[in-house]
Amino acid sequence: MDRMAGQISATHGRLHTAAEPYDQRMLDVGDGHSLYVEQGGRPDGRAVLVLHGGPGGGCSPFMRRFFDPSHYRSVLFDQRGCGRSRPTASVEANTTQHLIADIERIRHELGIEDWLLFGGSWGATLALAYAESHPARVSGLVLRGVFLGRQSELDWFYGGGAGRFFPDLWARFQEPIPEAERHDMIAAYHSRLFCGDTGRQGRYALPWLMWENALAGLQAAPVSHAPADYARAFARLENHYFRHGCFLEDNQLLRDRYRIEHLRAVIVQGRYDMVCPPATAHELAQGWPGCDLRIVPASGHALSEPRISAELVSVMDMIRDEDRRETGEGTP
């Protein structure tokens, strides 16, 4: 779950200066998939892995700007089937477990011992799943708009809960689906997004995308068009994961939180996030000694919301400054 990466605005003054990556590559991870991977900032700096939302959203140059390039070695990649990874929109050999293995493959390929995880929405889900699988390879987590991949959360967004606040937009999302199938919107869209007709898939991809995008920010303008390849990849991948419960046991990430409770975490959560309501972030943070939950006022879900962006930059700069104090870097 996350707003279109391609529509994120980079106008917030607190972001770091945009810089081109110093390394870009395609990494063959098997199963017919090749992943786009990039590195930016300081090659010997503290490694931070950026996990994009969706599933299917892909990375954006905007995402590089949360990290001071003089301190961080930022690693971004497009997950299987989306962005610049190939093949586009493929759900073959595409599960949460495959993505966890891909992250480990990237870490080995780049020679990184451990890294800080930075992810929002589905990116937060994947960060938690990876951290719980490989806690020794994680130095901390910075999460936004927490989504735990549970059925109750999917029911909220695709079962009419959020629709009670946006009845007009919910009606528009339901409109292409016959009334007899509207009791399970994920299944109804699945049968159309995975039919044999690529054109028909595209026609159903846009309303799927429009529904999520319209609720992403407090003042988000609904999407009326999007690049066909992007919309199809986003809708197919997200629907595929949600149709299969994100390939997680229900409540798995909370159940296994004990594996990472020794790690430090910061959660940045919009008070009025209608995609991933704050109750989930609050539940994740409760009883986690090293977890700092920051509820951001007058903000929704999108990474691009000004107060969300500013808070995330503040968190990453705080960690940078702590690192520098610990090593004595930059002191007289």
According to the 3-state scheme, what is the secondary structure of 196-221? Answer: CCHHHHHHHHHHHHHHHHHHHCCCCC
| 3-state SS assignment for residue 35 | strand
Residue 37 and residue 75: Cα distance in Å, rounded? Answer: 7
For residue 225, the model assigns a pLDDT of 72
Domain spans of the chain, in order of start: 5-150+247-327, 152-245
For the stretch 57-96, pLDDT in tens is 999 999 999 999 999 999 999 999 999 999 999 999 999 9
Cis before 87? omega within 30: yes
For the stretch 243-297, pLDDT in tens is 999 999 999 999 999 999 999 999 999 999 999 999 999 999 999 999 999 999 9
For residue 11, the model assigns a pLDDT of 44
Angle CA(258)–CA(259)–CA(263) in degrees, nearest 5?
Answer: 95
pTM: 0.96
| 3-state SS assignment for residue 117 | strand
Active site residues: 121, 273, 301
| 3-state SS assignment for residue 326 | helix
pLDDT grade for 223, boundaries at 50, 70 and 90: low
Q: Is the pLDDT of residue 201 over 50?
A: yes
Residues 6+ apart with CB under 8 A from 271: 278, 295, 296, 297, 298, 299
DSSP for residue 239: H
* CB-based contact 45:68 (threshold 8 Å): no
* CB-based contact 56:78 (threshold 8 Å): no
User: What does residue 328 show for φ and ψ, rounded to 5 degrees?
Assistant: 80, 5
CB half-sphere exposure, 263, CA atoms < 13 A: 26
Q: How far is CA 305 from CA 12, 108, 263, in A?
A: 9, 34, 27
**The domain 5-150+247-327: what is its CATH number?**
3.40.50.1820
pLDDT grade for 222, boundaries at 50, 70 and 90: low
Q: Is the pLDDT of residue 6 over 90?
A: no
Burial (CB count within 10 angstroms: exposed 0-12, middle 13-18, buried 19+), residue 203: middle
Reading the block at residue 233, the tokens are 């990849």
Residues paired with residue 24 on neighbouring β-strands, in sequence order: 38
